[in-house]
Amino acid sequence: MSKLSPMRTVVGPGMNGPNAQLRFRMLRPTDNLRADHQVIALGARLLQAIADHVRTGAPLPADDTALVLRFLRDFVLAVHMRKEAEALWPAVAMRGDDACAGMVGELLRLHEEITTLTHSLVLFWEPIEPLSADEQRGFAETVDQVCARLARIAEIEEQCLFPACDASVPADDQLDWVQQFQQLEHERGGCQQWERSLQPLAARWPA
């Protein structure tokens, strides 16, 4: 995977003036979320590879599983989905068309399901004894469900919500999102930091 371009910092006084819209496009929050999606796709691929390994009856690789589950919990849920749920989705539901508003409802449901499934995966990751055959199947099937829902969220957003946001939500309404996103990334880690953490696993768990 190619390295992601770093997101610029905050919107300063220079945002005013004839080049304001050009500068805003360079800071566009949807571009930040698209970059997140690239790293989430990597994490989902690694998690799916581990699940396919466990599905064969192989032992759960504890350290690699722990890292990917931390990524799922600390970045996907606690950073990326908070950006979307607290900023993007409400804005598009308010300013987009009825179809977009309906899709926001689907996204909220998927978010809740991914949260519940992630908690289940953490329980599998911390077993008292090696996983039984049923538990191995349960782990793999739960991963399947998480990855399918992550892919569905990305599909809805890339095809509908991001274009709708760029077209219908005024730039002024989005300016605060840049700082909100940076604050979340500062607290829990941004996509570049997590990409660096996940890359060593890519060699052990090739596609």
CA atoms within 13 A on the CB side of 95: 19
Please report whether residue 129 resides in a domain.
yes
Enter the pTM of the model.
0.84
Please report whether residue 134 resides in a domain.
yes
Q: What is the CATH number of the domain that holds 84?
A: 1.20.120.520
Please report whether residue 18 resides in a domain.
no
pLDDT reading at 68 higher than 90: yes
* Position 123 confidence tier, pLDDT thresholds 50, 70, 90: confident
CA 66 to chain centre: 17
Question: Which of 70-74, 176-180, 195-199 is predicted with the least confidence, judged by mean pLDDT?
Answer: 176-180
pLDDT reading at 173 higher than 80: yes
Gap between the Cα atoms of 97 and 95, Å rounded: 7
Please report whether residue 1 resides in a domain.
no
Helix axis angle, 62-71 relative to 29-55, nearest 10°?
150
Structural domain for 166, as ranges: 29-204
Q: What local confidence, expressed as pLDDT, does residue 184 receive?
A: 94
Q: State mean pLDDT over 18-37.
A: 72
From residue 178, give the alpha-carbon distance in Å to each of 11, 19, 38, 167, 199: 8, 18, 19, 17, 26
Please report whether residue 80 resides in a domain.
yes
Please report whether residue 161 resides in a domain.
yes
By the 8 A CB rule, do 42 and 195 touch? yes
Q: What local confidence, expressed as pLDDT, does residue 112 receive?
A: 96
Q: Tokens 């698209």 map to which residue?
A: 34
Taking residue 27's Cβ as centre, other Cβ atoms within 10 Å add up to: 20
Q: State mean pLDDT over 150-170.
A: 94
Q: How many domains does the chain have?
A: 1
Question: Which of 19-33, 35-49, 153-167 is predicted with the least confidence, judged by mean pLDDT?
Answer: 19-33
More confident residue, 150 or 206: 150
State the sign of the Cα–Cα–Cα–Cα dihedral 204, 39, 86, 104.
negative
Please report whether residue 10 resides in a domain.
no
More confident residue, 201 or 11: 201
Please report whether residue 126 resides in a domain.
yes
